[in-house]
């Protein structure tokens, strides 16, 4: 986050219950006011910079709590700042204990010790790559999903982003094509827009707008790019069709079984009413027919034994 004034940011970080200052550089530490004054004095070199305050929270999984001593937290914070090119400048590192996630806050001056502005270009993407690098290096736990984020603690743009995330996720679970998807997003006040390649009809990307805030699909979540959502919608369509086919086959089988049982019951009922299952007495016509067949067979056998001339 980038802010305009150090006073509010430093007070927020330092005033939390049990907050502990773990590391600092280039600031006076008599009290919070002296820290704020130190930051402000250096900002005078570049008084035209509207947002000289840099504020970063490094939060870790509760699973790693036993690994994260104060010393390790400082090591990780300094390594993170070095990788993000936040160096040769004033900073404080403060640990908080107000939730279940071990975390520290870094407040730094974007006007460095040489009077140059620390660039924030592509900081969101650099941050993601560096966090992964540090987690792998120190064998720390990766978050399982956005669903575990304490969304009630979010503010501003981050809160809005998670509102979009939840709406997109819900719409995807109930849509089989882009029209369905777009309609369900509109029901939640979100406008879906497409980015096209040049003057062609080829779609390159998508974005979501809520109020006056717009997010690229991949900015909300890496799974919300155009191609990935298109693939999910196609899978939903296939699953929907398969479900319909399965339902139809099941209904046909049930109907066939019911019809079969009915037919058998009908036949048995008919046979009972005809009383043909009789085992006593003989049929005179059947007996005459059998005698005639036996006579003919004997004649054939006799003729076959005559010598040929």
CA atoms within 13 A on the CB side of 31: 1
Structure tokens at 264: 């058998």
* Alpha-carbon span 174 to 191, nearest angstrom: 17
Predicted TM-score (pTM) of the model is 0.53
pLDDT at 257: 63
Containing 80, the helix (H) or strand (E) segment is helix 70-83
pLDDT at 279: 43
Q: In the chain, what is the straight-line distance between the N-terminal and C-terminal CA atoms, in Å? A: 121
Tens digits of pLDDT across the chain (309 residues): 889 999 999 999 999 888 999 999 999 999 999 999 999 999 999 999 999 999 999 999 888 999 999 999 999 999 999 999 999 999 999 999 987 789 999 999 999 999 999 998 888 889 989 999 999 999 998 766 565 566 556 667 778 888 899 999 999 999 999 999 999 999 999 999 999 988 898 998 999 999 999 999 988 888 899 999 999 999 988 888 887 777 777 777 766 666 655 555 555 555 454 443 444 445 566 666 666 677 776 666 666 555 554
CA atoms within 13 A on the CB side of 24: 19
Residue 91 CB neighbours (<10 A): 21
pLDDT at 275: 43
Containing 246, the helix (H) or strand (E) segment is helix 226-274
Cβ(162)–Cβ(147) below 8 Å: no
pLDDT at 199: 86
Find how far residue 105's CA is from the centre of its chain.
28
pLDDT at 158: 78
pLDDT at 233: 92
pLDDT at 273: 47
Helix axes 32-43, 6-14, angle to 10 degrees: 150
Structure tokens at 291: 């005698």
């Amino acid at each position: 986050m980038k802010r305009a004034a150090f006073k509010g940011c430093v007070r927020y970080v330092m005033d939390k219950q049990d907050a502990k200052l773990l590391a600092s550089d280039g600031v006076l530490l008599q009290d919070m006011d002296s820290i704020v004054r130190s930051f402000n004095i250096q900002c005078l070199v570049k008084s035209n910079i509207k947002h000289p305050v840099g504020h970063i929270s490094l939060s870790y999984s509760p699973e790693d709590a036993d690994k994260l001593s104060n010393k390790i937290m400082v090591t990780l914070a300094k390594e993170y700042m070095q990788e993000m090119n936040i160096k040769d400048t004033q900073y404080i590192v403060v640990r908080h204990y107000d939730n279940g996630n071990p975390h520290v806050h870094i407040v730094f001056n974007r006007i460095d010790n040489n009077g140059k502005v620390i660039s924030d270009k592509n900081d969101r993407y650099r941050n993601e790559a560096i966090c992964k690098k540090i987690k792998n290096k120190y064998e720390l736990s990766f978050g399982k999903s956005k669903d575990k984020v304490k969304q009630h603690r979010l503010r501003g743009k981050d809160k809005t982003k998670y509102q979009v995330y939840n709406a997109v996720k819900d719409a995807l679970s109930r849509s089989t094509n882009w029209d369905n998807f777009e309609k369900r997003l509109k029901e939640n006040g979100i406008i879906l827009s497409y980015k096209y390649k040049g003057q062609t009809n080829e779609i390159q990307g998508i974005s979501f707008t809520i109020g006056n805030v717009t997010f690229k699909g991949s900015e909300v979540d890496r799974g919300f790019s155009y191609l990935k959502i298109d693939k999910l919608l196609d899978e939903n369509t296939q699953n929907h069709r398969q479900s319909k086919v399965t339902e139809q086959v099941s209904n046909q089988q049930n109907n066939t079984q019911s019809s079969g049982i009915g037919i058998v019951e009908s036949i048995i009922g008919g046979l009972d009413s005809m009383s043909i299952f009789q085992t006593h007495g003989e049929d005179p016509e059947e007996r005459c027919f059998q005698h005639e067949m036996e006579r003919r067979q004997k004649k054939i056998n006799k003729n076959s034994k005559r010598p040929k001339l």
